[in-house]
Amino acid sequence: MKRITVDLGARSYPIYIAAGCLNQIGDIVSSHQLERKIALITDENVGPLYSDAVEAALKASGFQVSVYVLPAGEASKSLETADKLYEYLIRDRFDRKSTIISLGGGVIGDVGGFIAATFMRGIRFVQIPTTLLAQTDSSVGGKVGINHRFGKNLIGAFYQPCFVLIDPQVLETLPLRERRAGMAEVVKYGLIADETFFDFLAGHLEDVIQLAPSGDVEGVIETCCSIKARVVQQDEREGGLRQILNFGHTAGHALEALTNFEFYRHGEAVAMGMRCMTWLSWQSDFISEADFSRIDALLQRFPQPSPQPVFESNEILEKIYSDKKVFDGKLNVVLLSKIGEALVKKNLDPKAMLAALEWMNRSSDEIKQYYR
């Protein structure tokens, strides 16, 4: 079993990666000396596939398990869902020594972590991510939260898990659309931190999505988790370096919010956002035209759901200014300085962002000439 340590001093924790490791959850929880009472939070998609096996393994190791099944999808990241979960935990007599285990994708990880961070001022928490996006990104780093009607993840906390358990085998039951969406976050890591990794993905994109041996999915997951661990270790609470992990998310989150978190998968919106910010990186003379073309060629390989909703660029910009990455009314965005290296552009001129959004909407030479 591969093990990556997120070194945060007293809040340090391991990420375990191995095919078939889901069956070892009871032994691993025991090795971390967690108390006997566990709330297993999952959703209607993942629960029927894996919750029985996880529950049985935990009970075989002597744990008391209560399973809570949420509706699948982004709508579960809400205050209403949080209130229901608090009620369940109070009713079932969970206490400050209890543990929450999130079994599912990014939504379940975020919700479970948010409840753990806030119930009785904080109880222990374990992540078992079951989507490619969650395994390579959202389960690591301690960002937990829920959405508000005005924006994504506006209510939340930084709250690190006791450990993360990643079983790549569960991706075999993941719908193809979800695997493709998750690959957008994987590509992000190549763009912001590792050109060699980007080159590998450019040549093996479909292999990874199809879980082919040549795609080395376990190695891909390990690379992403290792990069994120290094970033989080240097900047746990996103005061500086960690902001690079938001590449493509500025416009992506806005698109998700404008469609009430019901149309795009997160990775689909992020792929569009990365195209937008890659173009702006080129137009700002941070990357060459050749690098822009290489990146955009890869990002265009991510299909988008149809029919595409149409939003005016001003609508998207207005939604962006509700995002938590806006400070004192000033927009900070992540751009690329080259493939494998990112930078934070502070106090971006709104006209520049508007031009990038117009290009994203129309992808025309007219927009390039306008901004230049």
Per-residue pLDDT reduced to its tens digit, 175-195 = 999 999 999 999 999 999 999
Q: Name the pairing type of β-strands 163-166 and 124-129.
A: parallel
The values of phi and psi at residue 128, to 5°, are -125, 85
pLDDT of residue 134: 98
- pLDDT single digits (tens) 142-151: 999 999 888 8
- Percentage of the chain surpassing pLDDT 90? 88
User: Is position 148 annotated as part of the catalytic site?
Assistant: no
Rounded to whole angstroms, what are the CA distances from 13 to 26, 57, 112, 279?
17, 22, 17, 37
Closest CA to 2 of 23, 16, 19: 16
8: its two tokens: 């945060």
- Which one is catalytic: 266, 275, 325, 345? 266
Q: Confidence band (pLDDT; 50, 70, 90) for 310?
A: confident
The 3-class SS string of the chain reads CEEEEECCHHHCEEEEECCCHHHHHHHHHHHCCCCCEEEEEEECCCHHHHHHHHHHHHHHCCCEEEEEEECCCHHHCCHHHHHHHHHHHHHCCCCCCCEEEEEECHHHHHHHHHHHHHHHHCCEEEEEECCHHHHHHHCCCCEEEEEECCEEEEEEEECCCCEEEECHHHHHHCCHHHHHHHHHHHHHHHHHHCHHHHHHHHHHHHHHHCCCHHHCHHHHHHHHHHHHHHHHHHCCCCCCHHHHHHCCHHHHHHHHHHCCCCCCCHHHHHHHHHHHHHHHHHHCCCCCHHHHHHHHHHHCCCCCCCCCCCCCHHHHHHHHCCCCCEECCEECEEEEEECCEEEEECCCCHHHHHHHHHHHHHCCHHHHHHHC
Mean pLDDT of 294-315: 90
User: Is position 238 annotated as part of the catalytic site?
Assistant: yes
- Which one is catalytic: 249, 265, 319, 325? 249
- Percentage of the chain surpassing pLDDT 70? 97
- Which one is catalytic: 222, 238, 268, 358? 238
Q: Hunting for tokens 């822009």 — which residue is that?
A: 292
User: Is position 32 annotated as part of the catalytic site?
Assistant: no
- Which one is catalytic: 228, 319, 325, 345? 228
User: Is position 266 annotated as part of the catalytic site?
Assistant: yes
Q: Confidence band (pLDDT; 50, 70, 90) for 261?
A: confident
Q: Confidence band (pLDDT; 50, 70, 90) for 123?
A: very high
- Which one is catalytic: 185, 222, 256, 358? 185
**Cα 223 to Cα 278: distance, rounded to the nearest angstrom:** 22
User: Is position 249 annotated as part of the catalytic site?
Assistant: yes
- Which one is catalytic: 246, 265, 268, 319? 246
| pLDDT tops 80 at residue 365 | no
**Cα 184 to Cα 270: distance, rounded to the nearest angstrom:** 7
- Which one is catalytic: 77, 180, 188, 242? 242
- Which one is catalytic: 77, 124, 253, 265? 253
Decide: 157 and 268 in contact? Cβ < 8 Å. Answer: no
- Which one is catalytic: 143, 180, 188, 319? 143
The values of phi and psi at residue 340, to 5°, are 100, 5
Decide: 46 and 103 in contact? Cβ < 8 Å. Answer: yes
User: Is position 121 annotated as part of the catalytic site?
Assistant: yes
51: its two tokens: 């919750």
CA 188 to chain centre: 11
- Which one is catalytic: 93, 121, 172, 262? 121
pTM above 0.85, yes or no: yes
Mean pLDDT of 111-132: 98
